[in-house]
């Protein structure tokens, strides 16, 4: 939405499926959606029933790569065709039409045939739109595919930046693998409306379908009609505002991305009484506000209690019923997808940032001391040199870890957001080594400073004997 432009309700032509030009993105409503009244937020996206490839072609599955199962089915019980015992099901691979011995009745082509559970959109309190079960869903059941545009990792970063600039609130980019992402911001399936929970009833799973990876949302447990669907985004937080998680779970981590490396590194110095820990201090985001930041979401899972109190159900006539959306069966789709990393920007109004930074909210850098400053206060040359050497070692270790992180970030993030994939052992070992070296170098530096502050004289006129003013030494480290 352009600055100053008012949000508008969908017009009749929007709802009839006409492609509309928009100043920023072209959106289209799926055909056969009934006229919807009382929308408090406009929904604008192009409905996809399979992934769209923007920068490369669909892979072509080679015949030698097709795995053919050995299933036999009982003609009087076609439901038994390619069930739990199917070799392909065991490896999260769909059977290839024309090759499966069960032929047309094969039950292992759910992505290809869009065999989705019935779901319904509803409006939540504070979390935008959400998706709920519109039928009883069994544990393990495939619910819906997370479809969108398959784009490169670089393009995902570029788009995330652009969305931030445009002031888009919600994050819909998820990572597909180490080098690709799925962006459901402008184009996607109803899965784009599924919210995050720290105690989810769903999870994402990757399946190989005709040679491409695709991402599905699966039930972790039995889900009854009317229950909100949610999975753990595994948001990757890279910086900026901390965004409150409103999932309502007892085990809620408080913020989107609170478990991610970036978030933890940024907050590890917070003390128990630091009021930044208080989620109440973090502003809520409503759809009318602009916000900052880049986060990423992943596919993962834990359990959930979904708060039912915050559901703002639309009247029956006003709901968008996913079953009314015209979903074409993917008879011979060669598409792919996968969702794991959502890049999100929360542009926080400057006013709010100021409020947030007032009072006790401190910049972490304020807690870091400057080794040069410590050195300038010390008399002994040896002490000065020792500290500077340790500082250099620490800086080297930090930048080494940083560049290693950039190098292997795709693999690490892939691992963090999808437990089905493993970071190669060699990469993990490199990472652990570099992390240990960094910790050791920090310890050595701090130890050296404390030792030299306590055991050597200071430059000031009022030189005290080593150890004679320990309090002053401690002040030196903290009060600059
Ligand atoms: C993939 S979209 C989910 C659909 C979104 N609610 C909508 O209206 O389109 C992800 C965005 O929904 C919001 N969201 C999802 N789960 C949330 C939660 N537990 N707490 C707060 N906001 C949440 C965040 O703005 C997030 O970036």
Instruction: Give the number of the atom of ligand 1 that is nearest the alpha carbon of residue 171.
Output: 27
Residue of 423, 422, 414 lying closest to 204 (CA atoms): 414
CA 144–ligand 1 middle distance (angstroms): 17
- C-alpha to C-alpha distance for 268 and 252, rounded to whole angstroms: 18
- The pLDDT confidence band at residue 414, using thresholds 50, 70 and 90, is low
User: Range of 437's domain?
Assistant: 369-478
Given a cut of 80, whether residue 406 has pLDDT beyond it is no
State the pairing for strand pair 230-231/195-196: parallel
- The pLDDT confidence band at residue 370, using thresholds 50, 70 and 90, is confident
| Total domains, the chain | 3
Q: At what angle do helices 470-478 and 425-455 cross, to 10 degrees?
A: 130
First and final C-alpha spacing in the chain:
45
Q: Determine the average pLDDT of the residues in 178-187.
A: 92
What are 188's strand-pairing partners?
Answer: 47
Q: Does residue 333 sit in the same domain as residue 384?
A: no
Given a cut of 60, whether residue 47 has pLDDT beyond it is yes
The DSSP secondary-structure symbol of 129 reads E
| Strand, helix or coil for residue 312 | strand
Given a cut of 90, whether residue 136 has pLDDT beyond it is yes
Q: Does residue 58 sit in the same domain as residue 147?
A: yes
Residue 83's pLDDT is: 93
Q: At what angle do helices 381-417 and 425-455 cross, to 10 degrees?
A: 150
What are 180's strand-pairing partners?
Answer: 152
Q: Does residue 257 sit in the same domain as residue 274?
A: yes
- Look-up of token digits 């800086």: 395
Q: Does residue 362 sit in the same domain as residue 382?
A: no
| Strand, helix or coil for residue 478 | helix
- C-alpha to C-alpha distance for 120 and 132, rounded to whole angstroms: 5
Q: Does residue 8 sit in the same domain as residue 76?
A: no
Lowest mean pLDDT among 58-62, 148-152, 383-387, 426-430: 426-430
The burial class, CB within 10 Å (0-12 / 13-18 / 19+), for 370 is: exposed
pLDDT one-digit tens code per residue, 219-230: 999 999 999 999
CB 175 within 8 A of CB 153: yes
Residue 212's pLDDT is: 95
Max distance between CA atoms of the chain, in angstroms, equals: 99
Q: Does residue 392 sit in the same domain as residue 359?
A: no
- The pLDDT confidence band at residue 31, using thresholds 50, 70 and 90, is very low
Lowest mean pLDDT among 24-38, 265-279, 404-418: 24-38
Q: Determine the average pLDDT of the residues in 91-110.
A: 96
Q: Determine the average pLDDT of the residues in 73-88.
A: 91
- The pLDDT confidence band at residue 459, using thresholds 50, 70 and 90, is low
- C-alpha to C-alpha distance for 298 and 232, rounded to whole angstroms: 7
- Quickly list DSSP for 200-258: -SEEEEEEEETTEEEEEEEESS-B-TTPBPEEB---EEEESPPPBP----TT--SBTTT
Question: Which position has the higher pLDDT, 382 or 51?
Answer: 51
| Strand, helix or coil for residue 67 | coil
Question: Which position has the higher pLDDT, 85 or 365?
Answer: 85
- C-alpha to C-alpha distance for 309 and 270, rounded to whole angstroms: 32
Question: Which position has the higher pLDDT, 296 or 251?
Answer: 251
Residue 442's pLDDT is: 85
Q: For residue 354, what are its two tokens?
A: 């100021």
219, 242, 286, 290, 467 from 358: Cα distances, Å: 43, 15, 22, 20, 37
CA 256–ligand 1 middle distance (angstroms): 10
Given a cut of 80, whether residue 193 has pLDDT beyond it is yes
Q: Does residue 434 sit in the same domain as residue 380?
A: yes
Question: Which position has the higher pLDDT, 300 or 452?
Answer: 452
Q: Does residue 55 sit in the same domain as residue 87?
A: no
CB 380 within 8 A of CB 456: yes
Q: Determine the average pLDDT of the residues in 166-184.
A: 87
Percent of the chain predicted with pLDDT > 70: 59
pLDDT one-digit tens code per residue, 302-314: 222 222 233 333 3
Question: Which position has the higher pLDDT, 383 or 91?
Answer: 91
Given a cut of 90, whether residue 17 has pLDDT beyond it is no
Residue 241's pLDDT is: 64
Which residue's alpha carbon is at the smallest distance from atom 22 of ligand 1?
A: 127
Question: Which position has the higher pLDDT, 439 or 17?
Answer: 439
Phi/psi at 311 (5° precision): -80, 130
> Residue 126 is part of a domain; what is its CATH number?
2.170.270.10
Q: Determine the average pLDDT of the residues in 364-369.
A: 45
Lowest mean pLDDT among 26-30, 93-97, 201-205: 26-30
Given a cut of 70, whether residue 339 has pLDDT beyond it is no
Q: Does residue 310 sit in the same domain as residue 243?
A: yes
Q: 326, 351, 366: which is the final residue of a domain?
A: 366
CB 374 within 8 A of CB 474: no
Cβ within 8 Å of residue 206, ≥6 positions away: 92, 213, 214, 215, 216, 299, 338, 418, 420
Q: Does residue 197 sit in the same domain as residue 343?
A: yes
Q: Does residue 102 sit in the same domain as residue 137?
A: no
pLDDT one-digit tens code per residue, 215-268: 999 999 999 999 999 999 987 776 666 778 999 999 998 888 888 877 877 776
Q: For residue 479, what are its two tokens?
A: 């009060």
CA 253–ligand 1 middle distance (angstroms): 15
Q: Determine the average pLDDT of the residues in 427-456.
A: 82
- Rounded to the nearest integer, the mean pLDDT of the chain is 69
148, 170, 342, best to mutate for ligand 1 pocket (most atoms within 8 Å of CB): 170
Question: Which position has the higher pLDDT, 380 or 203?
Answer: 203
Q: Determine the average pLDDT of the residues in 166-186.
A: 88
Q: 307, 340, 366: which is the final residue of a domain?
A: 366
Given a cut of 80, whether residue 373 has pLDDT beyond it is no
CA 266–ligand 1 middle distance (angstroms): 23
Residue 177's pLDDT is: 86
CB 183 within 8 A of CB 121: no
Q: Does residue 24 sit in the same domain as residue 173?
A: yes
So what's the ipTM on this one? 0.99
- Quickly list DSSP for 83-119: -TT-HHHHTTBPPPTTT-TTGGG-S--TTTTT-PPPE
Q: For residue 250, what are its two tokens?
A: 């007892």
CA 196–ligand 1 middle distance (angstroms): 6
The DSSP secondary-structure symbol of 276 reads G
Residue 378's pLDDT is: 81
193, 256, 286, best to mutate for ligand 1 pocket (most atoms within 8 Å of CB): 256
Q: 366, 388, 404: which is the final residue of a domain?
A: 366
The burial class, CB within 10 Å (0-12 / 13-18 / 19+), for 32 is: middle
Angle at 215 between CA 210 and CA 217, to 5 degrees: 130
Ligand 1 proximal residues by C-beta, below 6 Å: 127-130, 169-172, 192-193, 195-196, 245-247, 344
């Amino acid at each position: 939405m352009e600055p100053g432009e008012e949000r508008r309700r969908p017009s009749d032509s929007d709802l009839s499926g006409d492609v509309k030009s928009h100043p920023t993105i072209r959106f289209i409503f799926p055909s056969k959606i009934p006229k919807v009244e009382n929308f408090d937020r406009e929904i604008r996206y192009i409905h996809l029933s399979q992934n769209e490839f923007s920068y490369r072609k669909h892979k072509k599955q080679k015949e030698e790569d097709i795995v053919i199962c050995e299933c036999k089915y009982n003609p009087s019980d076609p439901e038994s065709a390619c069930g739990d015992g199917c070799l392909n099901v065991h490896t999260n691979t769909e059977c290839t039409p024309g090759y499966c011995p069960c032929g047309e009745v094969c039950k292992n082509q759910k992505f290809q045939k869009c065999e989705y559970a019935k779901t319904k959109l509803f409006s939540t309190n504070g979390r935008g739109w959400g998706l709920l079960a519109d039928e009883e869903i069994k544990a393990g059941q495939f619910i819906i595919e997370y479809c969108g545009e398959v784009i490169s990792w670089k393009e995902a970063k570029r788009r995330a930046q652009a969305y931030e600039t445009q002031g888009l609130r919600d994050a819909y980019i998820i990572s597909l693998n180490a080098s690709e992402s799925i962006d459901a911001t402008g184009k996607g399936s109803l899965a784009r409306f599924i919210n995050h929970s720290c105690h989810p009833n769903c999870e994402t799973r990757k399946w190989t379908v005709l040679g491409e990876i695709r991402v599905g949302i699966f039930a972790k447990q039995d889900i009854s009609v009317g229950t909100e669907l949610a999975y753990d985004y595994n948001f990757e937080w890279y910086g900026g505002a901390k965004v409150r998680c409103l999932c309502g779970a007892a085990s809620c981590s408080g913020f989107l991305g609170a478990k991610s490396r970036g978030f933890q590194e940024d907050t590890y110095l917070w003390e128990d009484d630091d009021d930044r820990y208080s989620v109440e201090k973090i502003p809520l985001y409503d759809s009318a506000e602009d916000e900052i930041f880049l986060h990423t979401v992943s596919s993962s899972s834990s359990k959930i209690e979904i708060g039912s109190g915050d559901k703002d159900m639309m009247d029956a006539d006003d709901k968008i019923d996913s079953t009314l959306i015209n979903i074409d069966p993917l008879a011979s789709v060669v598409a792919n997808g996968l969702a794991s990393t959502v890049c999100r920007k929360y542009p926080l109004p400057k006013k709010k940032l100021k409020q947030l930074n007032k009072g006790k909210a401190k910049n972490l850098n304020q807690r870091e001391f400057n080794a040069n400053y410590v050195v300038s206060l010390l008399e002994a040359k040896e002490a000065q040199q020792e500290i500077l050497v340790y500082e250099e070692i620490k800086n080297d270790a930090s930048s080494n870890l940083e560049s290693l992180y950039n190098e292997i970030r795709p693999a690490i993030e892939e691992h963090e957001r999808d437990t089905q994939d493993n970071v190669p052992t060699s990469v993990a070992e490199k990472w652990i080594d570099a992390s240990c070296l960094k910790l050791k170098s920090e310890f050595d530096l701090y130890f050296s400073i404390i030792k030299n502050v306590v055991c050597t004289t200071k430059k000031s006129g009022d030189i005290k004997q080593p150890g004679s003013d320990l309090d002053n030494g401690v002040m030196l480290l903290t009060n600059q």
